């Protein structure tokens, strides 16, 4: 039975063209409660000669494959099911919106809108554009956004669209920006455009910035408890401000507490320690006991309540991480369940055959070769039958990312070479893999490190580029070069480059070589490469297990860290725009002579005793004159030290209310930074717990390489599959499958084992960590949902997406997302 | 059977005087493997007329009670069993050493030695003493320490003494200090006495500083992983220092990177952010791209590796806390098992009778009244039989701290008053307990807060004490006074003062009142009390559950925080001594004109443009001229901001090597501070998990009051007990028991219920948190130990402390301590 005549259990996006699937026969429902799907019974045994029915049936299957693929995609991206396309029209919009070209367009539009502020007044000098140029660019980008929104409206339908909060906010912001851009174009000059601070919304909303959206959500989730503790902090601040005012305002030499406002500002800054011990000094000089006030204040506020803030955020974080993992997992599970239902046929409702599975993958992973689709099926099919059960199918996300390769019969890449060459390479391989070689290299690196240190230390007269090609540089570079060559030849290029550490070695060595060339040919702009040499020393950290763990975790965390960094940059951007609108060009040398921080802005000849020196306070450089300067200034504010100098400088040139901007920024960065700390803490504690729990498996070198799966393919099977594919998919590219068959033929193997590999993700770790709890969740999940496969028919009572069943698709897992 | 003739199962510290218990009859061992205890069989049925045997028996029992009490004490204090006294001589030394008078002496000696540094050169001016006075005082204190050590030697025995590491270190330090004190006395002048930095050892070793010792141990446990990450930190620092030197040393205006040493120091300081953004400014002014170097450095070092440090310490901390709790719990359990064995008699080996239990408590808690001893027995005796089983006995630590009071028959304290008074008080009670009253008070407090803020804000001319008795002060104080009076009368003084919040209200109100009196009578030194008024505002935080939780946790944490503070002070002390020895009097106004931080030390008339002002850099106040100044300076170094100014100032007056002192101090405080942060994090996360796990029980008002236990006493029982006590303990104070009987008689109650209360400790919380795991631990524990009570006889095979069995007492739980 080839399954050619199987009829899908559920039909989707039925556009009414297929006469066979008309709903003109409701009386034929056989009373088992399956409802309007029963008419499928009528068409389940079409004659093979009935080519119209055949093609219509194929069309239905294709539609089902597509919808199943969409479900899997939704599960993967954590898209809610209520945005699932419900009609053929919505489907075409959905397909238009969900592809990388469109995503890229979204991203570019968002980035373009943001980088426009480089060119808008106050612009970076070298990038300044005329008003009509940048306003036109902006209008163009906004039109693109409007187009994207229209496509989304078409896909989601009007009702879902206006219920989707993020999209509505985006629409409003778009409207405002549009109006403003036109006003700018008409007036030919920029007005006070604070609303530009909202531009990051366009970037955040785009598909590729999902991680940023998650971070923002996490920040908002932590906010309520954060604000509670913040109030406690501010409350103590105000109590101490009153006390401080009462105690120290009688001292005329104390400018920090002379009014209540100054008192509050001083203690706010003291919270960040930025004005300590200066703020204490006048009072301390007068009465030594006054240090008690400051010590108590700092102990309560800085060392207790600030840590409390971290504890609260960490706790929220900790709880949320698990809940999020759970909801994601269950969302994926129900996505897989939906997809499974769409792939089974009326004849065999509890299994997915290779043909259907292949159909799914053609939509879900269009770039996957026929061979890999077949291997994925084999990997899932643990039971060895011809069908995938629901339990098998539940593993689909785990096998999806695997890269398949035939297991090499030999151990080394040079197995097929002639004997002499083999022996040479074998020797190199042994050398390269030996402990001794490794330790020799460590010693070389260490010696190199000491050498660099000593050499640099001897350059007391200052570093000069031109005479800096010492022989040691060449010697060590040669050693590293030889090492890289040996390793590549010994291990084979593929094995060599599959290790992150080797890649690191390689790139550092290549950079050093490029630096040497730059020096030799006097290419000045590339000199900086030379200074990267000391990075070689990082290799020393491979020696100890703990460092390997730390660095591995660092690499694992990198994507998440990057998204947190991006989130921070988005906050920066908004604050930078506001700062530029209000504080551009208020700071210049000698600007703030009336303020308490005048020294830091002074650029003047000063006479001390009988000497005259040029004293330069560089702080006028920390300004908001253009967006790049603003970013640097904001970074300095983030680091917190001496931030009050910038604040007081700007305040002295504008009004007292400017402090609000700086204080708000401090609190916002405090939130984000606390989240970052909590995130790092959580990730590392998780990782350490994990490695404690799975000590043996982490030490296992096989496990370090990531997730590995096996699939054995028999020759008969392969030929059969090739046949099947030729039959069903005439015209598509089957070369990968053919090649596999040819390989088996040539090597006279009756079977071939394939290995699928992928790197381990956080989700894999979590799966292992919460193993027992996951079983609980699944049990709970299947208790609230109807059991499958026995319950499949009963499950059909629940409305499913179908043009003809307009009842919204009430998926039980919807609420947990 | 009154149990008068019971013979102890085990005999302890048998001093051979008791002829009955001689070991002259080894042949009579009945072969069941109990060994030399079997001779007890021979004396188990002495004739009641044999008064010599009777008294000897009583003596043996008394000895057993004492040893059992010592075991319980050891369990409570986590003293290892190998220090258990093994002979009558050791016992007397043990008893001498283990009492509060001796502990106090230890403490005072330690404190005396430490505060001597106030008077030794360089002394606090007002406390300076002659050399021979402070040297004599020091010698005296050291002789005291020597005496304590002698007593300890006598108790522990020579072998245990020299194996006890802490004691040996103490002895060595004592020896050094002694020699030095004599040298000082002979030369009549202090030499370079850096060893004084070791003085805190005497304080740390004393009994009352157990918490500090635990903290130090925890710090040392976290050190290895801490140092690993620290190396990573320093490694990146050096790599960046080399890069920085190469990049920026060509800039003559940049003093931060002109040599490799300066480069390293600048980046070390930058690690603490103290010189940011100044360190960046010269490079930034020259080339805007150079900010990338600093941003990357800070991102890696400050935001990543520093957090990693916290993560590692937090993780270690987290793990250690649980292990410590487990080992403490099992240690207590084996202490209780040992005590139990000493209290059972040969006749009834599986239960402890009231008489024996009472005997134990007479030694274990000498101050406890007879009534409370009896009630404790009743509380333990859950089964209702006349004996305590081992299972009952295992709860002894939980009931030990209970404060017993008879349950009041009525609800209110004024129940016994005449009817009119009752009605009045009842009315007040209802008012005081009503929500409305509470909220009115909150509103009053809030209004008061706003009032104070507004009033203070209007004093722009500066605060002056004399004219500061505004009418609002009197009005609000009256309201608070009335509230306190109403509450005390309505709730009764006992109920009122048992709540921490009420105590807080009361003391703030009393202070405000005292402040008013001080103002009225013009007593200037007490004016500061007036400024404590805003503390009333703290009451507002009672409104929200989260704040109550936070503040309760704060109070729960307080003892632990205090011990951490003390630990920090001990580190401060050592560093202060070293600082004073090397840097005393090197800092003075205008001292550091050659350094880069000259401005901060300058006290000079400066001409800027055409104005002349006195510019005062107060940093010369941050010196090491005496121990108090040193402490303040070290606190400023702990807060980190601008610490490099102090460092550079001292360095410019001494040598480059001084930086080592400051950098070491920074790293040490970083360790301690990280531990403090980890501790607060851990405690709060624990508390939050706890309250999540027991949400209902925390909201339960009964539970908030702490641990409550009930014991019902019948009249017959009470009389019987009184009789028993009169019989056995002639001459001791039985008034509490008699009073109880009289009360029952007078009120004609046939029974009386007593409530025992104590506040909840961390250990109670942990018990509840780890409930399930504790059962596991117990199971494991009883698997490795022999089961009781069936196994009691078998257990006797194991050597027990006994003069005649000199085999060291190998308690199985010893290894886990």
Give a three-class secondary structure readout of A634-645: HHHHHHCCCHHH
Q: Check pLDDT > 50 for residue B591.
A: yes
What average pLDDT does this structure show over B2-30?
Answer: 49
Task: Lowest mean pLDDT of A134-148, A611-625, A790-804, B490-504, name the range.
Answer: A790-804
CA–CA separation, A347 vs A9, rounded Å? 8
Residues B750, B744: Cα–Cα separation, whole Å:
7
| Mean pLDDT across B627-645 | 91
For residue B532, the chain A residues in CB contact (below 8 A) are 243
| Axis crossing angle, helix B210-248 with helix B291-298, rounded to the nearest 10 | 160
**Element spanning B712, H or E:** strand B707-714
Mean pLDDT lowest among A36-40, A256-260, B628-632: A36-40
**What gap in Å lies between CA A576 and CA A586, rounded to an integer?**
15
* B276, B453, B535 member nearest A639 (Cβ): B276
pLDDT of residue B731: 59
How far does the CA of residue A176 sit from the closest CA of chain B (Å)?
35
Residue B530: pLDDT over 70: no
In a 3-state reduction of DSSP, which class is residue A217?
Answer: helix
pLDDT of residue A660: 92
- Chain A nearest-CA distance from B194, in A, is 26
Amino acid B467: pLDDT: 53
- Taking the C-alpha atoms of residue B338 and residue A401, their distance in angstroms, rounded to an integer, is 61
For the stretch A179-208, what's the b/e string if a residue is b when 16 or more beta carbons lie within 10 angstroms of its beta carbon? ebbeebeeeeebeebeebbbbbbbbbbbbe
The pLDDT score that the predictor gives to residue B203 is 92
Q: CA A714, A718, A724, A730: dihedral to nearest 10 degrees?
A: 170
Give the HSE-up count for residue B507: Cα atoms under 13 Å, Cβ half-sphere.
9
**How far away is chain B from the Cα of A121, in angstroms, using its nearest Cα?**
20
pLDDT-derived band at B35 (thresholds 50, 70, 90) equals very low
Q: Which of B258, B273, B621 sits opposite A639 (nearest CB)?
A: B273
Return the top range by mean pLDDT from A97-101, A371-375, B13-17, B647-651: B647-651
For the ranges A588-597, A734-743, B335-344, B690-699, which has the lowest average pLDDT? Answer: B690-699
**Residue among B282, B311, B528 whose CB faces A684 most closely:** B311
Whether the ω angle into residue B789 lies within 30 degrees of 0, i.e. cis, is yes
Query: Could you give the CA distance from residue B223 to residue B214 in angstroms, rounded to a whole number?
Result: 14
Beta carbons of B592 and B244 less than 8 angstroms apart: no
pLDDT of residue A41: 39
**pLDDT value of residue B466:** 53
**For residue A135, pLDDT beyond 50:** yes
Distance CA B115, CA A541 (A): 46
DSSP A805: B
Q: How confident is the model at residue A792 (pLDDT cuts 50, 70, 90)?
A: very low
Is residue A457's pLDDT more than 90? no
Task: Identify from A127, A528, A625, A641 which residue to disrupt to test chain B contact, counting B C-beta atoms within 10 A and taking the largest count.
Answer: A641
Under 8 Å between Cβ of B342 and B68: yes
In contact, B359 and B61? CB cutoff 8 Å? yes
pLDDT at A730 over 80: no
Report CA-CA distances (Å) from A166 to A206, A718, A808: 11, 49, 21
Query: Smallest CA–CA separation between A449 and chain B, in Å?
Result: 9
> Which residues in chain B have their CB less than 8 angstroms from residue A546's CB?
225, 228
Q: How many CB atoms lie within 10 A of CB B619?
A: 26
Q: Which residue has better confidence, B571 or B541?
A: B571
Burial of A667 (0-12, 13-18, 19+ CB in 10 A): middle
- pLDDT for B755 beyond 70: yes
Distance CA B212, CA B218 (A): 10
What is the H or E stretch that residue A633 is in?
Answer: helix A627-639
CA distance A509 to A530: 11
What does the mean pLDDT of chain A come to?
78
What pLDDT score does B808 carry?
A: 36
Distance CA A149, CA A164 (A): 12
Closest residue by Cα to residue B151 from B104, B211, B89, B205:
B89
Q: At what angle do helices A643-653 and A260-271 cross, to 10 degrees?
A: 150
Counting one residue from chain A and one from chain B, the pairs whose CB atoms sit within 8 A come to: 231
pLDDT of residue A1: 41
Does A156 score more than 80 pLDDT? yes
**Nearest CA-CA distance, residue A767 and chain B, Å:** 21
Partner-chain contact B307 A535, CB within 8 Å: no
Q: Which residues of A touch B260 (CB under 8 A)?
A: 453, 456-457, 459
Minimum-distance CB partner of B639 among A259, A298, A308: A298
pLDDT of residue B266: 93
> How far apart are the C-alpha atoms of A361 and A377, rounded to whole Å?
10
Cβ distance B455 to B472 under 8 Å? yes
Quick one: which of A753, A767, A752 has its CA closest to A707? A767
CB contact under 8 A, B307 and A680: yes
Q: How far apart are CA B368 and CA A648, in angstroms?
A: 65
Say if the Cβ atoms of A676 and B307 lie within 8 Å: yes
Range with the lowest mean pLDDT among A603-612, B77-86, B166-175? A603-612
Between the ranges A540-554, A784-798, B4-18, where is the mean pLDDT highest? A540-554
| Segment among A259-263, B539-543, B808-812 with least mean pLDDT | B808-812
* Higher pLDDT among residues A362 and B30, named by residue: A362
Chain A residues whose beta carbon lies within 8 Å of the beta carbon of residue B277: 622, 636, 639, 641-642
pLDDT of amino acid A468: 56
The residues, any chain, with a CB within 8 Å of residue A633's CB and separated by 6 or more, are: A579, A622, A623, A624, A646
Provide, as residue numbers in chain A, all residues whose Cβ is less than 8 Å from the Cβ of B310. 677, 681
pLDDT of residue B589: 86
d(CA B166, CA A803): 81
Nearest one of A665, A652, A663, A671 to A595, comparing CA atoms = A652
Q: Do B680 and A304 touch (CB under 8 A)?
A: yes
Q: Are strands B751-758 and B707-714 parallel, antiparallel or unpaired?
A: antiparallel
Interface test with A, best of B302, B681, B687, B691 (most A CBs within 10 A): B681
For B618, the closest of A285, A310, A684 (CB atoms) is A285
Q: Span B333-341, mean pLDDT?
A: 87
Q: pLDDT at residue A463 above 70?
A: no
pLDDT at position B38, please? Answer: 37
Q: Which segment of A240-249, A465-474, A478-487, B751-760 scores lowest on mean pLDDT?
A: A465-474
At residue A411, the pLDDT reads 64
When CB atoms are compared, the residue of B307, B534, B680 closest to A239 is B534
Taking the C-alpha atoms of residue A664 and residue B697, their distance in angstroms, rounded to an integer, is 39
What rounded mean pLDDT belongs to chain B? 78
Residues A453, B260: C-beta atoms closer than 8 Å: yes
Residue with tokens 């004393």: B206
Bridge pairing between strands A707-714 and A611-616: unpaired
What is the structure's pLDDT at B30?
38
| Strand A751-758 relative to strand A387-388, pairing | unpaired
Mean of pLDDT values over B182-206:
88
Cα B607 from Cα A607, distance rounded (Å): 6
Q: What angle do CA A137, A143, A147 make, to 5 degrees?
A: 145
Give me the residue from B544, B561, B621 closest to A285, CB to CB: B621
Instruction: Give the confidence band of A140 by pLDDT, cuts at 50, 70, 90.
Output: very high
Q: Are A6 and A54 in contact (CB under 8 A)?
A: no
pLDDT in tens, B136-193: 999 999 999 999 999 888 888 888 888 888 889 999 999 999 999 999 889 888 788 8
pLDDT in tens, A289-298: 889 999 999 9
Contact predicate B207/B233, CB 8 Å: no
Q: Testing the interface with B: which of A230, A241, A303, A312 to mutate, by most B Cβ within 10 A?
A: A303
Cβ distance A307 to B531 less than 8 Å, yes or no, reads no
Model confidence at B460: pLDDT above 70: no
Answer yes or no: is pLDDT of B28 > 60.
no
pLDDT at B161: 84
Residue A800 is predicted with a pLDDT of 40
Chain B positions in Cβ-Cβ contact with residue A554 (cut-off 8 Å): 304
Q: Which residues in chain A touch residue B588, judged by CB atoms under 8 angstroms apart?
A: none
Most confidently modeled range among B393-402, B405-414, B756-765, B794-803 = B393-402
Cα–Cα dist A448/B122, whole Å: 48
Q: Summarize the confidence of residues A308-319 as an average pLDDT.
A: 83
Tell me the shortest Cα–Cα distance from A735 to chain B, in angstroms: 48
Nearest one of B603, B576, B609, B572 to B590, comparing CA atoms = B603
Which residues on A lie below 8 Å from B688 (Cβ)?
311-312, 315
Question: What's residue A5's pLDDT?
Answer: 61
Instruction: Identify all chain B residues contacting A275, using CB atoms and an 8 Å cutoff.
Output: 641
Q: Best-predicted range by mean pLDDT among A5-14, A330-339, B312-321?
A: A330-339
Nearest CB neighbour to B260, from listed A278, A457, A685: A457
pLDDT bracket for residue B590 (50, 70, 90): confident
The chain B residue lying nearest A284, using CA atoms, is B621
- What single DSSP character describes residue B345? B
Sign of CA pseudo-dihedral A547, A549, A552, A558: negative
Q: Cis peptide before A789, with omega less than 30 degrees from 0?
A: yes
Contact B547 A228 (CB under 8 A): yes
pLDDT at B210: 86
CA B727 to CA B410: how far, in whole Å? 36
Distances in Å between the Cα of B150 and the Cα atoms of B114, B153, B155, B176 are: 22, 5, 9, 17
* Contact flag A550-B281 (C-beta cutoff 8 Å): no
Q: How large is the average pLDDT for residues A486-502? A: 82
3-class SS at A810?
coil
Q: How many C-beta atoms lie closer than 10 Å to residue B419's C-beta?
A: 7
Which of A528, A602, A680 faces B304 most closely, judged by CB atoms? A680
Which backbone phi and psi does A164 adopt, to 5 degrees? -85, 110
Query: How far apart are the CA of B683 and the nearest CA of chain A, in angstroms?
Result: 9
ipTM surpassing 0.85, yes or no?
no
For A662-697, the pLDDT digits (tens) are 999 999 999 888 888 888 888 888 877 777 776 654
Residue among A275, A641, A677 whose CB faces B307 most closely: A677
Element (H, E) at B56: helix B51-77
The residue behind tokens 């803020």 is B453
Q: A86 and A157 in contact (C-beta within 8 Å)?
A: yes
Quote the minimal CA–CA distance from B746 to chain A in Å.
54
Residue B26 has pLDDT above 70, yes or no: no
pLDDT at position B814: 35
Q: Which of A157-171, A534-548, B732-746 has the highest mean pLDDT?
A: A157-171
pLDDT at B529 over 70: no
Rounded CA-CA distance B500/B486 in Å is 17
Q: Which residue is associated with the tokens 């803490």?
A: A681
Which pLDDT band holds residue B802 (cuts at 50, 70, 90)? very low
Burial class (CB in 10 A: 0-12, 13-18, 19+), A149: middle
Is B550–A308 a contact, with Cβ atoms under 8 angstroms apart?
yes
Mean of pLDDT values over A149-154: 88
Min Cα–Cα distance to chain A from B558, Å: 11
Tokens at B166, concatenated = 């802490």
Q: Does the pLDDT value for residue B468 go beyond 60?
A: no
Mutate which of B293, B530, B639, B772 to test chain A, going by most A C-beta atoms within 10 A?
Answer: B639
* pLDDT over 80 at A299, yes or no: yes
pLDDT mean over B648-671: 91
Enumerate the residues of chain A whose CB falls inside 8 A of the CB of residue B606: 606-608
- The CA distance from B506 to the nearest CA of chain A, in Å, is 19
Among A535, A554, A680, select the one facing B239 at the smallest CB separation: A535
Contact across the interface for B281 and A618, Cβ inside 8 Å: yes
Please tell me which of A264-278, A482-496, B346-360, B694-708 the model is most confident about, judged by mean pLDDT: A264-278
Determine, for residues B531 and A247 on separate chains, whether the beta-carbon distance falls below 8 Å: yes
Q: Are B582 and B661 in contact (CB under 8 A)?
A: yes
What percent of chain A clears pLDDT 70, i.e. is strictly above it? 83
Comparing A414 with A28, the larger pLDDT belongs to A414
Rank A724-733, B336-345, B462-471, B778-787 by mean pLDDT and report only the highest.
B336-345
Which residues have CB under 8 Å from A374's CB, separation 6+?
A354, A358, A713, A721, A737
- Which position has the higher pLDDT, B12 or B814? B12
Query: Which chain A residue shows the shortest CA-CA distance from B557?
Result: A304
């Amino acid at each position: 039975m080839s399954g050619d005549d199987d009829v899908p259990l559920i039909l989707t996006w039925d556009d009414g063209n297929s006469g066979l699937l008309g709903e003109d026969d409701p009386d034929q429902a056989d009373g088992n409660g399956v409802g309007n799907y029963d008419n499928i019974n009528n068409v389940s045994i079409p004659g093979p000669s009935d080519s119209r029915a055949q093609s219509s049936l194929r069309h239905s299957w294709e539609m089902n494959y597509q919808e199943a693929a969409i479900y899997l995609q939704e599960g993967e991206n954590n898209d809610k099911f209520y945005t699932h396309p419900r009609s053929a029209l919505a489907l075409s919009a959905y397909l238009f919106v969900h592809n990388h070209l469109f995503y890229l367009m979204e991203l570019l539009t968002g980035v373009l809108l943001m980088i426009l502020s480089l060119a808008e007044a106050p612009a970076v000098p070298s990038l300044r554009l005329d008003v009509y140029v940048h306003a036109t660019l902006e209008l163009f980008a906004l039109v693109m956004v409007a187009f994207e929104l229209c496509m989304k409206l078409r896909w989601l339908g009007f009702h879902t669209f206006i219920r989707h909060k993020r999209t509505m906010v985006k629409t409003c912001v778009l409207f405002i920006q549009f109006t403003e851009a036109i006003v700018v174009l008409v007036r030919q000059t920029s007005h006070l455009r604070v609303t530009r601070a909202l531009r990051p919304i366009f970037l955040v909303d785009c598909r590729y910035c999902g991680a940023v959206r998650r971070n923002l959500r996490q920040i908002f989730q932590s906010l309520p408890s954060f604000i509670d503790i913040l109030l406690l902090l501010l409350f103590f601040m105000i109590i101490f401000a009153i006390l401080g005012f009462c105690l120290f305002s009688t001292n005329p030499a104390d400018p920090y507490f002379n009014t209540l406002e100054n008192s509050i500002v001083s203690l706010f800054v003291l919270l960040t320690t930025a004005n300590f011990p200066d703020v204490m000094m006048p009072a301390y000089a007068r009465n030594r006991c006054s240090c008690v006030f400051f010590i108590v204040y700092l102990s309560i506020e800085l060392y207790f309540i600030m840590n409390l803030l971290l504890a609260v955020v960490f706790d929220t974080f900790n709880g949320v991480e698990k809940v999020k993992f759970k909801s994601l997992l269950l969302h994926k599970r129900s996505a897989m369940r939906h997809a499974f239902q769409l792939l089974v046929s009326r004849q065999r409702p509890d299994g997915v055959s290779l043909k259907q599975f292949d159909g799914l993958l053609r939509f879900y992973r269009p770039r996957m070769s026929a061979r890999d689709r077949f291997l994925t099926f084999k990997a899932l099919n643990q039971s060895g039958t011809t069908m995938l059960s629901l339990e098998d199918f539940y593993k689909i996300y785990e096998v999806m990312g695997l890269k398949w390769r035939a297991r090499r019969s030999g151990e080394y890449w040079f197995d097929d070479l002639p004997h002499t060459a083999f022996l040479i390479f074998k020797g190199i391989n042994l050398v390269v893999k030996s402990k001794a070689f490794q330790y020799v290299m460590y010693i070389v690196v260490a010696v190199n490190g000491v050498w660099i240190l000593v050499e640099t230390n001897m350059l007391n007269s200052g570093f000069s580029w031109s005479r800096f090609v010492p022989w040691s540089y060449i010697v060590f570079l040669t050693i590293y070069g030889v090492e890289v060559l040996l390793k590549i030849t010994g291990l084979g290029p593929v094995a060599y480059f599959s290790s992150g550490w080797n890649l690191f070695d390689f790139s550092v060595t290549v950079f050093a070589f490029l630096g040497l060339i730059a020096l030799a040919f006097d290419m000045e702009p590339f000199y900086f490469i030379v200074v990267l040499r000391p990075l070689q020393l990082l290799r020393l950290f491979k020696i100890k297990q703990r460092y390997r763990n730390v660095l591995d975790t660092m690499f694992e965390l990198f994507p998440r860290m990057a998204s947190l960094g991006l989130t921070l940059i988005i906050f920066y951007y908004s604050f930078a725009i506001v700062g530029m609108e209000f504080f551009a060009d208020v700071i210049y040398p000698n600007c703030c002579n009336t303020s308490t921080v005048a020294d830091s802005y002074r650029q003047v000849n000063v006479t001390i005793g009988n000497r005259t020196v040029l004293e330069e306070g560089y702080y006028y450089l920390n300004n908001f004159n253009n967006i790049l300067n603003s970013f640097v200034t904001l970074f300095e504010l983030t680091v917190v030290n001496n931030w009050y100098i910038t604040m007081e400088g700007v305040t002295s040139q504008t009004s007292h209310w400017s402090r609000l901007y700086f204080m708000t920024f401090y609190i916002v960065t405090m939130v984000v930074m606390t989240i970052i700390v909590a995130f790092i803490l959580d990730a590392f504690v998780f990782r350490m717990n994990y490695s404690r729990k799975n000590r043996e498996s982490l030490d296992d070198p096989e496990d370090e390489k990531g997730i590995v799966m096996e699939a054995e393919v028999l020759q008969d099977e392969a030929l059969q599959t090739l046949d099947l594919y030729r039959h069903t998919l005439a015209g598509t590219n089957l070369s990968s499958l053919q090649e596999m068959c040819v390989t088996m033929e040539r090597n006279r193997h009756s079977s071939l084992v394939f290995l699928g590999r992928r790197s381990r993700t956080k989700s894999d770790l979590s799966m292992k960590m919460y193993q027992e709890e996951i079983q609980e969740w699944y049990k709970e999940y299947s208790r609230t949902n109807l059991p499958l496969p026995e319950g499949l028919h009963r499950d059909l009572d629940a409305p499913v997406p179908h043009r003809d069943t307009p009842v919204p698709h009430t998926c039980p897992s919807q609420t947990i997302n």
